[in-house]
Every structure is written in structure tokens, then in C-alpha cells.
Amino acid sequence: MNSIFRAAGLAAALLLAGCGTLSRPPEGVVRVAPEAVIPTADPRIVASDAGPVRLLERQIMGEPGQGPTAILALSGGGANGAYGAGVLTGWTLSGRRPEFRIVTGVSTGALAAPFAFLGPSWDPQLAAAYSDGGAKDILAWRQLATFASPSLYSSSALRKLVDRAVTPQMLTAIAAEHGKGRRLLVATTNLDSEETVIWDMGLIARQGGPQGLKLFKDVLTASASIPGVFPPVLIAGRAKDGRIIQEMHVDGGVNTPFLAVPESLVLWSRPAGAVGAGSIFVLVNGQLGRRDAVTAGKLTAILKRSYDSGSKASTRAHLAANAAFAQRNGLAFRVAAVPDDAQANSLDFSEAAMRRLFDLGREQGRSGKAWGDWKPAEAEKAAATGLIVIDAPPARR
């Protein structure tokens, strides 16, 4: 009976949220308020521009003395991000975790990306963020938004998580790594332009101060803000004509489930004779296989089933495209995902559920079972069966 009331309450909240609005100036043009964050150097890269090609081509090719590039891409997946956090900490315990030159994050992956970028010494903070129960209030009923809100839930609990995780000390450490040539990238979706925006978080960290700290937090919050569930984040920027505009940013997963190879780079090929192959690791905070089940005729069940089906299909398609890029350019391509037989729910932020997934990920990361190959030649078969194609990667020393 309690579930019936919950479903009815959720449906009512959805209808009420549909009446909410978010006040914006005409054409997005704003007068700069004292608290507006306008970065001194624009950290935005639009995924369809040539910028990512030049940036990542240089990173992938490697510069003299750098050696092969290792890229880590953390996907979205809500509460399933606990699995990815566990994999990373278990990978540290195995003694085989590489230092990644590029770390990227989308949605829940964006929240974990700064810890992953800073490496094993930040594992305790990463583990705490996903396994100490701090996320249990994100979708609590007391977080339901007001009638005037454009979302079902308030983002206050999400912002508290970000505020607790992101400190001036973290930004100082990220800025130092950025100075060494490493890159931390986070993706959001700009609803105004319908484009993926890649944020150079190291550049924001180098700006520092209260404004840099606020922008860093705003980007992470935006990347995890599922449209309709959480309100969008308005971020000030400068248009080509010099005007200050207000961009509406939401979950990066709207356009891309993970960020390994940006849109403008997918068809790129390494110049003939070039050397410096590396590896791409994609950590999928979710399951990839299809699962037959009778969908209950309730709003909540229909919405959840639709979201799961769409996100899995999108992730498999992106994996196939990225794997083809890696094969064409001589990069190893490794994938980790929540096992299909595991109990996982992207909307279950309870401490027990997230701890269970974290422990599973940590054990698989420690034992080496988490990572496998995704072969482009078998991508069609994988898409048809919903099964990830896994070969055990060779041990790294």
C-alpha cells in the first residue's frame, strides 16, 4: 500500500513540477551581478568544435618524453556511481592502477572524476563520497521541489554533496596536476545550443579563489542535474560579440553517456607514420545487458524502465564508436561495467545499496575482473545480445 501512495505522490509531483518556471532574461543576456563567475580564461570547449581535436590529438599523440597516453572516462549512472568508486579503490589495492593523463566525467562520473584525477592518495575521500550514506537524501521526499520549481526535486542535497567534496585544497592539487600537462574534463549539456560542453576543470582550478571554487562546483552540479529531476544550472559566459549571457546547463548524459572521444574527433585518424599509442579505459556506472521483465503499468515503473532501456542502448552505441576509434588509431580499449547479474538501481541512493555496489566494485577492481576488451568487430553482436565482450587484459606491472 505504501508503494501505491509513493507512486501517486510522484505522479502528482510530476504534474505540479510541470507548472514551474525558471526566470531568465530575454535572449539570455544579463547584466553582470557581483557574484557572477566570468572566468578569466574560458574553460569551455564545445564538443563539435575543432578545439577538442587539437587538444586531444596532442594528448593522444603524446609529446616528447611523455610516453603513451592513458585516458579514463567515467560515465553517468546515478547511485551506480558507487560501483565505479569501488573499482577505482580496488584497482589501487591491486597495484596496477595507471596514472591517467586525461580523466573525464559525466553526471555521477563528474562527481568522482576529481578524486580519480588526483589519484590513489584521494581514495579515502572518494570512498566516503559514495559509501558513507551522505547521498541518501538526494531523492528523499523532503527534497521535493516547490510548485514554482522547474524540477521534481530540489538540488540542495546534491549541492551539499558537492560542497563537502570540493575544497580549496582539492582545487590547489588539481591546478598543480594541470600544470604538469594532465587534464581533468567534465561534460555538461548546454540546453540553449543543444551541444555538449567540455569543461577544462584544471583551468578553472588554476583561476582559484571564491569565483573559481564556485564555478567548479556549479559545473559538477550541472553535469549531475538530470532535467526534470533537478533544476538546471545557469552559468554566466561571454558571447562572441562580448555580451554576457546566461547559459542553461544540465546533465552531460543528455547528449553523451561518457566522454572518451568527443564528437568532432570520432572519425579522426592518426597521421601516417605517427607513434605513441596509448589506452582508453571507460568505467560504465551501470549495466549494459538487456533484461526481460514485465513492466508494471505504473508511472514510476514505466519511466524507470524507459530510462534504463534508453541509457543502455546509448552507452552500447557510444562504446562501439569509441572502440572503433581506438582500434583505428592503435589504442587499447578497456571497459568496466556493473555485472548484469548484480542488484543495481541508479535511483537507489540508500546507504546499504550504495555500499553493496561499492564493495562489489572494489573486489572486482582488486582482482582484475572489472576490466575487459570491447571489440569493434563484435559490437553488432554485443548490441544484439546486450552482452559485453570481455577478454581478460594482460596484467600491468
For the segment 259-308, what is each residue's pLDDT rounded down to a tens digit? Answer: 998 887 788 777 776 665 689 999 999 998 887 888 888 877 787 788 77
pLDDT per residue as tens digits for the range 218-230: 999 999 998 888 8
What does the pLDDT read at residue 330?
84
Nearest CA to 23 out of 182, 217, 234 is that of 234
Is residue 391 part of the annotated active site? The answer reads: no
Average pLDDT in the 364-370 region?
Answer: 95
CATH topology classification for 43-56+66-373:
Cytosolic phospholipase A2 catalytic domain (3.40.1090)
Beta bridge partners of 281: 72, 334
Is residue 107 part of the annotated active site? The answer reads: yes
What does the pLDDT read at residue 380?
47
The pTM of the full predicted model, rounded to 2 decimals, is: 0.83
Contact 78, 311 (CB under 8 A): no
What does the pLDDT read at residue 389?
44
Confidence band, pLDDT 50/70/90 cuts, at residue 336: very high
Contact 87, 359 (CB under 8 A): no
Given 107, 131, 151, 155, the catalytic residue:
107
What does the pLDDT read at residue 51?
62
pLDDT at 1 over 60: no
What does the pLDDT read at residue 63?
58
Given 123, 200, 218, 251, the catalytic residue:
251
